[in-house]
Amino acid sequence: MAKEYSGSPKPHQLESKRKRLTWVLGVSGLCILFYVLGAWQTTTTPINQSEVYTTRVSCNINAPQAGDGELNPSSLSSSAALDFESHHQIEINSTVSLHEFPPCDMSYSDITPCQDPVRSRKFDREMAKYRERHCPKSEELLRCLIPAPPKYKTPFKWPQSRDYAWYDNIPHKELSIEKAGQNWIQVEGHRFRFPGGGTTFPNGADAYIDNINELIPLTGGNIRTAVDTGCGVASWGAYLLKRDILTMSFARRDTHEAQVQFALERGVPAMIGVISSKRLPYPARAFDMAHCSGCLIPWYMYDGLYLLEVDRVLRPGGYWILSGPPIHWKKYWRGWERTKEDLKQEQDTIEDIAKRLCWKKLIEKNDLAIWQKPINHIDCNKSKVVYKTPQICGPDNPDTAWYKDMEACITPLPEVSSSDEVAGGALEKWPERAFSVPPRISSGSLSGITAEKLREDNELWKDRMTYYKKIDGLLHKGRYRNVMDMNAYLGGFAAAMSKYPVWVMNVAFSTYPRTYDLIHASGVFSIYQDRYKLNKKKKGKIFFHMLN
């Protein structure tokens, strides 16, 4: 018969269990102690923010590069991330102590070296040439750090920044006084507010854009890129953004202190610029739409030279929109303080120039007039029998822009076989356009650039963007809005960023201090390695990290 179990352990059994438990806890404690000591001995705390970024986003410089056919996120370890280092070594003298640049005087806080008002006075005032880009000589360059205003604050995040900016960041009230009746900008305590008004749309850019949309289709993806000449604080471009139209706004630095600086502080694409004697710094056929709202550009002068330049940068079928003088002069001539005869002659001259450019006037309604560039030059070539001037330009590169004089001739469009064919090929609608192969590449007109290279560039930056998204707050929270890409190549980085609340400047135009939230570089040092003198006594590496 089995022995009945009473359910109570014997004293010697309890003692045995206590000893085993004590032994397990002791061994476990020793293991934890040695693990902590080992981790402490092999871990170095980053001493500054640069080390934090280096730790988080560095990878082996011998990793496969674009074009190797091996760059695949699945092939990288979980600890690998994007490489912000250059992929070559330059011999430098690392034994020389670092030179620390001193701070500049506070008077340089808003300096724009190539548009310096003092230097500009030395140049010809004809055609406003003195307002053009005039950069300092090497001996005039500042070798100090530009200071921010004393009470500078982190700018408002996008999209709030479209409507607000801190007064302490741009302490200039001139525009709020001079343009008070046009609702450009208002001072509200310690901040500026931008109601969205402009010279010819004091009731707001939104309503003004709606009026344009009733005349030409702004939605649907056919219009993606626009240029605003004489932009003020860029409210037209700011309000086009929600319609998926990206506008490059520009204005000169003149008595309207800081108008472009205000635009940039708002997070709106803008640059300092002027239509004068040089071509605009864009290639031919760059924009779907051009706009002038009371921009004070003398379109009727110099044999239509400035409209010829607009024609150069407009795509086939692109639009030119004009509001303000002389449009609707019969109603506004008294307020403009000009005679009826003067305004009528100005508009008649503009109409005549547009006909000679082969533009078609679509409509003039209330305060707006809109012309359209032809989709090809078949009929335009025939019209030259009637209109002798301006002639079609001779053999020249129409995409050359930097420091290139404007020419009083019509930039030729690529040849077509029929009158309904778009010269150079039709572009895809937005957003498909961002990643599609443009006609310039598919036609083989760009030497060395193929459709396959464009696709590789697009895929490369799509892959890399998966790592950029891991950087806290970089893409989604509105803190980083204005981005500079120092080596754009085919624009793959900007295309990959297009779905995020940022805009990317692909060219280093003249600008104000503190313009960009993020400066991005890929392969920059490979481009410039032979343009600077470096001490080659000892090898070293050049590292490039993201700046904010």
Q: What is the DSSP letter of 147?
A: P
The predicted structure's pLDDT at residue 253? 87
Contact 276, 127 (CB under 8 A): yes
Do the Cβ atoms of 262 and 286 come closer than 8 Å?
Answer: no
**Rounded to whole angstroms, how far apart are CA atoms 468 and 421?**
41
What's the rounded Cα separation, in Å, for the pair 230 and 310?
Answer: 13
Q: What is the pLDDT of residue 96?
A: 64
CA proximity to 345, closest of 321, 329, 365: 329
The identity of residue 227, as a single letter, is: V
The pLDDT of residue 37: 58
Output the pLDDT for position 117.
87
Please give, one letter per residue, the 3-state secondary structure of 435-502. Answer: CCCCHHHHCCCCCCCCHHHHHHHHHHHHHHHHHHCCCCCCCCCCCCCEEEECCCCCCHHHHHHCCCCC
Check if the beta carbon of residue 466 is closer than 8 Å to that of residue 500. Answer: no
- How far apart are the C-alpha atoms of 413 and 424, rounded to whole Å? 7
Kind of pairing, strands 191-193 and 164-166? antiparallel
76 Cβ contact list (under 8 Å, min separation 6): 59, 63
486 Cβ partners below 8 Å, 6+ apart?
508, 519, 520, 521, 524
C-beta separation of 306 from 127 below 8 A: no
- Residue 504 β-bridge partners: 483
In angstroms, rounded to a whole number, what is the distance separating the alpha carbons of residues 131 and 124? 9
3-state class percentages of the chain: helix first, strand second, coil last, to nearest 5: 30, 15, 55
Q: Which residues of the chain have pLDDT under 70?
A: 1-96, 255-257, 385, 530-548
Q: Tell me, what DSSP letter sits at residue 137?
A: P
Instruction: Look at residues 544, 526, 440, 528 and name the one whose alpha carbon lies nearest to residue 491.
Output: 440
Do 54 and 61 contact (CB within 8 A), yes or no? Answer: no
pLDDT of residue 202: 86
- What pLDDT is recorded for position 475? 82
Q: Which of 530, 452, 465, 451 is closest to 494 using CA atoms?
A: 465
pLDDT at 419: 94
pLDDT at 19: 63
pLDDT of residue 386: 73
User: Rounded to 10 degrees, what is the CA torsion of 45, 51, 52, 53?
Assistant: -160
Spacing of C-alpha 396 from chain mean position: 28
Which residues is 227 bridged to in the sheet? 248, 290
What radius of gyration do the chain's Cα atoms show?
31
Spatial distance between the Cα atoms of 8 and 18, rounded to a whole number of angstroms: 16
